Amino acid sequence: MTNGIAPRFAAVDWGTSSFRIWLCGAKGEVIAERRSGEGMTHARDNGFGNILDAHLADMAAPNDLNVVVCGMAGARQGWVEAGYIDCPAPLHHLADRATPVAHPTRDIRILPGVAQRDPQHPDVIRGEETQLLGLLAHDVASVVVMPGTHSKWARMDGSTLTSFSTHMTGELFQALTSATLLKHAVEGATGPTDHAAFTAGVREIFETPAAWSSRLFEIRGRQLLFGASADGAKARISGILIGAELASGLAGASQQQPVRILSTGGLADLYGKACDALDLPFLIEDADAATLRGLHAAATRIWP
């Protein structure tokens, strides 16, 4: 028993480069929490079971405590491959398809990802589906964006994930500013985000998304011909990429319904500013809280 509450299960979010574990009570209340950089890449060399057991021991967890896991521990290169459920995916079925992991004392289950087996638009997610399950526990959303290196856009119909798409926005930003001629445009950028340049980039490309490549090259022209700043260039690149992502992610969606931005910190604020620039209603949801709610929902279905 910890803090006067007996732990009912442990919840783990195992990313590529990060590891998070929560000790939870019967109602999902957090008793203890630990975070580290022992993600899948590290765990493959050091042992997933060793890392999990060490954290649970440090948290004084019972030896037979149940553990539910989401994320890259279930990837092909992870601990045990948890596979995928197919889209359209009723998210409550994630728990029904959880993969057991052999352990001498614990019942450990890894949640599956979701596969979109559309020959025209094949895609996969692993980890974000649990965030969406947690979002359902809080509220139902029809359009959700999960910003990141590879941003995910999800369309929901009630509790069913009907379709999703991945956008390499963060990775493209890193590549453009470090390995193309635009790296010269952003050299010396040190200040806070130039919001005027950012919102201008968002608006321009949202209206004409096909022009994104040309608009990126114009950033260099703005500096050479009009003395635009490095901070402005960096902000405009970000605005163009996020504006293009919004145009694609919202294609065919009602712009009267709020966009749910499932994120934390600076990225959540940046996507919110992009929505503001386009007069789009939006709500920001905490990604960590959604992950924990999703793991709790899965745990209570696996172990009623």
E strand residue ranges, the chain: 9-14, 19-24, 30-36, 66-71, 84-86, 89-90, 99-101, 108-110, 113-116, 123-125, 143-146, 151-157, 160-167, 259-262, 282-285
Ranges of each domain in the chain: 1-115, 127-304
Quick one: pLDDT at residue 264?
85
Q: What angle do CA 31, 34, 36 make, to 5 degrees?
A: 170
Label each residue of 211-272 as H, E or C: HHHHHHHHHHHHHHHHCCCHHHHHHHHHHHHHHHHHHHHCCCCCCCCCEEEECCHHHHHHHH
- Whether the ω angle into residue 104 lies within 30 degrees of 0, i.e. cis, is no
Homologous superfamily of 1-115 in CATH? 2-keto-3-deoxy-galactonokinase, substrate binding domain (3.30.420.300)
291 three-state secondary structure: helix
Overall residue count recorded for the chain in this entry: 304
What is the pTM (predicted TM-score) of this model? 0.92
Token pair 């493209």: residue: 172
* Whole-number Å distance between alpha carbons of 20 and 38: 9
Which is it for strands 282-285 and 151-157: parallel, antiparallel or unpaired?
A: unpaired
One pLDDT digit (tens) per residue for the chain, 304 residues? 556 789 999 999 999 999 999 999 999 999 999 999 999 999 999 999 999 999 999 999 999 999 999 999 999 999 999 999 999 999 999 999 999 999 999 999 999 999 999 999 999 999 999 999 998 855 555 899 999 999 999 999 889 999 999 999 999 999 999 999 999 999 999 877 899 999 999 999 999 999 999 999 999 999 999 999 999 999 999 999 999 999 999 998 877 789 999 998 899 999 999 999 999 999 999 999 999 999 999 999 999 9
Which residue in 80, 85, 114, 115 sits closest to 97, CA to CA? Answer: 85
Structure token digits, residue 203: 């608006």
Contacts for 232 with CB less than 8 Å, ≥ 6 apart: 194, 196, 197, 222
| Structure tokens belonging to residue 282 | 């939006």
Tell which residue, 278, 266, 282, has the closest CA to residue 173: 266
For the chain, helix, strand, coil in percent to 5 are: 45, 25, 35
Q: Residue 90 corresponds to which amino acid? A: P
127-304, CATH topology level = Nucleotidyltransferase; domain 5 (3.30.420)
